Amino acid sequence: MTELKKLIRPDELAKTLGVAQVTVYSWVRRGVIPCYKLEGVVRFDTDEISEWLKERRVPARKIHGDLITAPRKEVTSKIVTAQKSNPDGGRPSGKGGKNASNIL
């Protein structure tokens, strides 16, 4: 006979991940997270959750000296986008609008 794994409840998973329980239920409803539904009861396999987390790992940004910096292409893209959306060429308008200086 196959041995059953211990499954955890949504509140236990929420506490482990440091998120609200409603967030876990939202992930379940949207099909974002692997789970088991047993006649309306939701449970999670910890091994499957570990794999799910590994798939979503985001690599660290490049470190320059003591500062963590975004890739140059990303920063340049934000500046260009800000300049295109501001008719003053990205200069501060004094009205709190988007420009290169307050995007970064």
Q: Is the pTM of this model over 0.95?
A: no
Taking the C-alpha atoms of residue 35 and residue 46, their distance in angstroms, rounded to an integer, is 10
> Tokens 């893209």 identify what position?
77
Q: What is the pLDDT of residues 80-93, one digit of tens each?
A: 566 666 655 545 55
Q: What is the pLDDT of residues 24-69, one digit of tens each?
A: 999 999 999 999 999 999 999 999 999 999 999 988 877 666 556 5
